[in-house]
Amino acid sequence: MIDSLFRPRGIAVAGASRHPTKPGHQVLHNLLAAGYPGQIALVHPAAQSILGVPAYPDLEQVPTLVEMLILAVPAATTPAMAEAIVRRKRARGDLAVVVSLAGGFAEADTEEGREMQEMLAAACREAGVRLLGPNCLGVLDARNRLDTTFLTGNRRDASGVSLLSQSGSIVSWITRECQALPFPIGLNKFVSVGNMADLSLAELVDCLGRDPSTRTIGLYLEAVPAAQPLLEAARRVAIRKPVVVLKSGRTAPGARAAFRHTGAVNDDSPLDDDVARQYGMLPVSRVDEFVTTLATFDRLPLPLGNRVAVLTNSGGAGVYTLDALVSRDIAPAQLSPSTAAALRSLLPPFAVVGDPDGYVDSGGGVGPRQTAQAVAALLRDPGVDAVVQLFVPTPFNSAEDMARDLLRLLPGIRRNSLAKPLFPVFLGGREVLPARRLLEENGMMTFASPEGVAAALAAMLRYAWARQRLAHALMR
């Protein structure tokens, strides 16, 4: 199934349109723009071709291979479509996946909507064809140049991050936030599951678990009608790949809006953050933290332990960040005496070193070179597993100078740090963006907020700990 969904050997689109404002036009346009390498055919009552793609009045008459059928037609056409699916499969045997985009099914909360959805699902079952949706954006696979969605702005060069979502449109927000990162993250795969009349989140989590190019999985959930299979799938996968979860519909009005969105209601044991953690998933609570955490897993090495050091050139930002880390149960490191001594000789007399544990406030007057050396000293300390470096520009130290000195010391830092993760946080809105880009283009990830670091680091520590626990269990 994974091949037919992500790498279909031929596609037919029903409902393609000449009119640029119609979804049926955008789907075809996106499919072509993505550079889909297989053959595309259209099912259209009248047209000979649209955008250069040949059209046929009936699905059965499409002469080329149709492994995937994309339905961009209104829900009301379901009876005809259901028949066409069964006939095509009988006549040609090629159809494997139907992707149904339109709304107006179970989520409309009408008798007719529910009937149409059941009719479509029954036809697919009868034909032995898998159904994605209805009421979804379909599927995107950047590596295989497949894109049935309306999403715009996903970079084609894929990261290791793949996404499953109960909402299509929220992903167009999420992909834009991914693109707005100083080092943009392009989604590897994305499946919008819609009403889940057949293909479920659980099955797709297993798919992505087996997909070698997916290294990190993001789940956007609203209401999960059958949570147990999803939880079991997550438990299987979460030991090999981080599964980061953002769950909406936590309040009563939110849950009602979620039902009107995808027709789904939570089952008796709602998938809350505690339950997600029990099954090895990594819950986050905000879109910005979701994006930062996914990007961090994609770009930074895992810490080997939970001892975190914080270096700051701003006392206030340091206090604020300690709160953010500690309130997520991130433990401060204890600096070794030699690290503390090295920092004291490097930094001015009023610098705060190791008070509280793992905390270094250099003061605002310290130059970028000394700061970079302090970062290196912290990374070298065997009692430190990760370093958070906070930088606020001062009249004495520009963000660009800081970035340049970090880059100059980077090879040494990398050699000495045994691939420990470094979290440089450049605080100061747009002004620090050029400095962040300089670092990111040279392979260092940077962060815009202490909360983003805290969310990503907490997820990383939880994941690293779960893996170590498994390794320990396996070695006994």
CB of 50 to its own copies, least distance (A): 16
CB count within 10 Å of CB 143 equals 16
Instruction: Please name every residue paired with 139 in a beta bridge, in sequence order, or none if there are none.
Output: 191
d(CA 440, CA 355): 31
Query: By CB under 8 A, what part of segment 86-115 binds its own copies?
Result: 103-104, 108
Query: By CB under 8 A, what part of segment 432-471 binds its own copies?
Result: 432, 449, 451
With respect to its own copies, which residue has the nearer C-beta, 193 or 342?
Answer: 193
With respect to its own copies, which residue has the nearer C-beta, 275 or 287?
Answer: 287
CB of 335 to its own copies, least distance (A): 14
Query: By CB under 8 A, what part of segment 312-331 binds its own copies?
Result: 313-320, 322-323, 326-327
Query: By CB under 8 A, what part of segment 116-145 binds its own copies?
Result: none
Radius of gyration of the chain (CA): 25
With respect to its own copies, which residue has the nearer C-beta, 421 or 450?
Answer: 450
CB of 385 to its own copies, least distance (A): 17
3-state secondary structure of 69: strand
| Residue 334 lies near its own copies (rule: CB under 8 A) | no
Query: By CB under 8 A, what part of segment 361-380 binds its own copies?
Result: 361, 363-365
Query: By CB under 8 A, what part of segment 213-272 binds its own copies?
Result: 220, 222, 248-254, 256-258, 260-262
CB of 267 to its own copies, least distance (A): 17
The residue type found at 183 is F
CB of 437 to its own copies, least distance (A): 12
With respect to its own copies, which residue has the nearer C-beta, 36 or 359?
Answer: 359
d(CA 310, CA 424): 10
3-state secondary structure of 474: helix
Is there a contact between 372 and 409 (Cβ–Cβ < 8 Å)? yes
With respect to its own copies, which residue has the nearer C-beta, 64 or 449?
Answer: 449
With respect to its own copies, which residue has the nearer C-beta, 169 or 338?
Answer: 169
Note the maximum CA span of the chain.
Answer: 84
Query: Per residue, what are the HEC states of 179-216?
Result: HHCCCCCCCCEEEECCCCCCCCHHHHHHHHHHCCCCCE
With respect to its own copies, which residue has the nearer C-beta, 383 or 428?
Answer: 428
| Residue 387 lies near its own copies (rule: CB under 8 A) | no
How many residues touch its own copies under the rule CB under 8 A: the total is 79
| Residue 396 lies near its own copies (rule: CB under 8 A) | yes
Which residue in 126, 120, 181 sits closest to 155, CA to CA? 181
Identified binder of its own copies from the candidate list 167, 214, 306, 373, rule CB under 8 A: 167
Tokens representing residue 293 in the block: 């955490």
The residue type found at 129 is V
The residue type found at 300 is L
The residue type found at 48 is Q
